């Protein structure tokens, strides 16, 4: 774990983009052996949004990035770097972030992608924080974006009901002394569990397909995430009870409820939007951040904990003083 030193770093603006097309649980009833009641009871999801046929990951990311720039009162030329966290890039080469940089006209910005499962946007944020804190960059645009419609097997009931498309973004910049700042951050991985969530080519498939061992993922998260967060809080000088608000990766309401129960924290200290979007993977954390900011759930002076988990298997946390 790292206590963040150097220049203080804050969130200057946030944004999101959610595709217009909606797919409800009832839509799945038409072609899968499932039901709205079954999906809701096991996941908490009611609907999810699906990218249009002419929308790709870079399009979603670009629109979220525009919203974050507007919120921060910055122009594209103010950016030093663009990081896109995604599991569903337009192409593996070139990187999706380079396409976003071109669409934005961010002429002074570098660009690269982060591939770290659902922990991707938190990993990208921690990387950006380190760069701003050290003085390498001044303004970094972090985007989490997913086009899961392009990698789902629509006949696999165990996965296709879970995921949705969308993008969230935040801009990280140098803060004034005594202002909002990130306090600490940590990412860990257990590569022995790499096969629990995969997106890979299979025999007879023209493109990569997502597969997940759902019960094993559920067991891993419930076993490893609570002690990871307790340990992170201790090293950061706070207790879970002292955290005012939690920004969580949205994967399953049972995981969220179980986590808070193990931490001894009330669920009214978080925003849950899973029922509207499903699991948007790398986009999830920053979409939730944007909605929490816009709804006034994060207030000046509060302690805010970001946490995510995902393929790899990876875990991450960030502590922020708003």
- Catalogue the active-site residues: 118, 249, 279
- Name the residue among 64, 92, 99, 104 with its Cα closest to residue 199: 92
CA 96/CA 69 separation, integer angstroms:
18
CA 190 to chain centre: 19
Query: How many angstroms separate the Cα of 94 from the Cα of each of 89, 128, 211, 231?
Result: 9, 21, 25, 38
E-strand stretches of the chain:
2-3, 9-17, 21-24, 47-50, 81-85, 110-114, 139-146, 166-174, 181-189, 197-200, 209-212, 245-248, 303-310, 314-321
Cα 254 to Cα 104: distance, rounded to the nearest angstrom: 38
């Amino acid at each position: 774990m790292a206590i963040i030193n150097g220049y203080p770093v804050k969130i200057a603006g946030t944004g999101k983009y959610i595709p217009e097309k909606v797919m409800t649980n009832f839509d799945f009833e038409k072609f899968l052996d499932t039901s709205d009641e079954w999906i809701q009871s096991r996941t908490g999801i009611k609907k999810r949004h699906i990218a249009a046929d002419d929308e790709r990951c870079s399009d979603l990311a670009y629109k979220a990035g525009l919203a974050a720039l507007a919120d921060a009162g910055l122009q594209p030329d103010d950016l030093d770097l663009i990081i896109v966290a995604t599991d569903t890039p337009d192409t593996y080469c070139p990187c999706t972030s380079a396409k976003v940089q071109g669409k934005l006209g961010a002429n002074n910005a570098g660009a690269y992608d982060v591939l770290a499962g659902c922990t991707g946007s938190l990993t990208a944020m921690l990387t950006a924080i380190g760069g701003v804190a050290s003085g390498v960059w001044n303004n970094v645009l972090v985007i989490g974006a997913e086009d899961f419609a392009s990698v789902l097997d629509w006949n696999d009931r165990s996965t296709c009901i879970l995921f949705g498309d969308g993008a969230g973004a935040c801009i990280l910049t140098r803060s004034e002394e005594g202002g909002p700042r990130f306090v600490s951050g940590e990412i860990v991985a257990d590569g022995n569990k790499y096969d629990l969530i995969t997106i890979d080519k299979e025999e007879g498939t023209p493109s990569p397909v997502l597969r997940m061992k759902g019960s094993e993922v559920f067991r891993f998260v419930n076993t490893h995430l609570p002690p990871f967060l307790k340990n992170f809080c201790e090293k950061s000088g706070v207790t879970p009870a002292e955290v005012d608000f939690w920004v969580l990766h949205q994967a399953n309401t049972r995981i969220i409820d179980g986590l808070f129960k193990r931490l001894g924290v009330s669920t009214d200290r978080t925003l849950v939007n899973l029922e509207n979007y499903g699991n948007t993977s790398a986009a999830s954390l920053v979409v939730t951040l944007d909605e929490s900011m816009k709804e006034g759930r994060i207030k000046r002076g509060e302690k805010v904990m970001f946490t995510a988990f995902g393929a790899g298997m990876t875990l991450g946390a960030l502590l922020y003083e708003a």
